[in-house]
Structure 1
């Protein structure tokens, strides 16, 4: 592998890491500021189809799962663990005080589960690995966050549907990235 390829791979990894890190504060900000409906003591909601409304942050959380996978693909497993640690710290720093524990715990468990599924699958098919690991991550994130934050699973279906839409929307980009990697003869880090 040439130095130019390695540099480009690291640059792409750094971009994915920055996008991943940006997802955490953006998601928390959206919950309080963006939605078609913003109830007084609840998260702002957006329509996600099927007549369902979900907390607006689901859009960004779905993207975070993808970016974590791409950090690992470009920079390796150690960087993926570092990304998760950075994400947990950012989550702790930007989550509303009442939601800090729920936000951090849900983030850590969902991202580690995503990593555990993605790691063995990525060499057998990037698109499949991203899809399956993201599904595992989004289910855990939704279950843990809702239970810890609110003591119930209200919005569980809505959160899972909203995050799944984002994962599905990103799969063509993942397929394009995979084809690009194959043309460049680039192997996962």
Structure 2
């Protein structure tokens, strides 16, 4: 939802290395990392429910073209990512592999549908990678700010 709102309201911005990407790129990368947490905690059904809720909220906050392009791209990328995450249950880096697969699919499909060009794909990949790095930091900060449960007396 945040990614679509940023893209609809701001448009395209520089992401470094001379690359451009839609403004919501960082939020999209963070959302993909958070999807792993949701799927790990609530299972694939929880991940799909979060995807559905995010899609509905996108339509309420972004313009229709961006929301439609995003819904199609996110649906395709999340299908791939959720499948990777589930199939690689014994793999220590399954979250990373799921995110890489999801980012690649989302970047190509969204940019093509929303902008009718693939010119922003390199910027999308860089921006989403940054978003993926930011998400674990945010999760860690939230955990640090959450009060610890009291230790029961012996």
Into which bin does the TM-score normalised by the smaller protein fall?
0.7 to 0.9
Unaligned runs of 5+ in 2: 141-154
CA distance in 2, matches of 1:172, 1:30: 21
Shift in Å at residue 62 of structure 1? 0.2
Partner of 2:108: 143
Aligned positions, number: 141
CA distance in 2, matches of 1:55, 1:144: 13
Gaps of 5+ in 1: 1-23, 35-42, 176-189
1:82 Cα deviation (Å)? Answer: 1.3
Q: Is the 8 A contact 2:84 2:97 kept in 1?
A: yes
1:154 and 1:134, CA in 2 relative to 1: closer, same or farther beyond 3 A?
Answer: same
Measured against aligned partners, the alpha-carbon deviations of 1:28-47 in whole angstroms (never above 9, x if no partner) come to 2222445xxxxxxxx141x3
TM-score for the superposition, normalised by structure 2? 0.78
Secondary structure of 2:88's counterpart equals: helix
Provide the residue aligned with 1:5 in structure 2. none
TM normalised by structure 1 equals 0.65
Partner of 1:27: 3
Q: CA RMSD in A?
A: 2.4
Q: Which has the higher contact order (CA 8 A, sep 6+)?
A: 2
User: Which residue matches 2:71?
Assistant: 104
Distance 2:18 2:100 in 1: 22
* Superposed counterparts of 1:48-59, under 5 Å: 48-59=15-26
- 1:57-136 map, 5 Å: 57-125=24-92, 128-136=93-101
The answer for the alignment partner of 1:157 in structure 2 is 122
